[in-house]
Amino acid sequence: MLKIDPSVLAQAEQNYRDTMSDDNRSIRDPVITPFAMAMKLAGYVEVSEGRCSKLRSCPICPVGKSNYSTRYKKDGIIWWGCPHCQSITEQ
């Protein structure tokens, strides 16, 4: 299991705050959106099915806490990233 680099997450959280405005009405979440931004900054590419994210329950979080572990790919390896515990696990 890996953890997202705290400095990358801090950069993504700042970017999230900087882009919040009344005219930016995209769907956002204060936990999930910065984590997804951090994953992208760290070189992970979200693997989707069509235009939908592939999600699963996080094996690290307590049962029922997070069903938002998202599938990513980096260096030819499939990873799952959880915005709640900030873990990155191999498939």
Question: For residue 22, what pLDDT is reported?
Answer: 61
Query: Is residue 25 over pLDDT 70?
Result: no
- Within a domain: 24: no
- Within a domain: 65: yes
What's the domain count of the chain?
Answer: 1
pTM for the model:
0.82
Per-residue pLDDT averaged across 73-77, rounded?
A: 96
Question: For residue 12, what pLDDT is reported?
Answer: 92
Per-residue pLDDT averaged across 9-29, rounded?
A: 80
Per-residue pLDDT averaged across 49-57, rounded?
A: 92
Domain residues for the domain of 68 are: 2-18+29-90
DSSP letters, 34-89, are: HHHHHHHHTT-EE-EETTEE-EE--SSSPTTT---EEEEEETTEEEEE-TTT-EEE
Amino acid at 84: H
Q: C-alpha angle 6/11/17, rounded to 5°?
A: 125
- Within a domain: 10: yes
Question: For residue 64, what pLDDT is reported?
Answer: 67
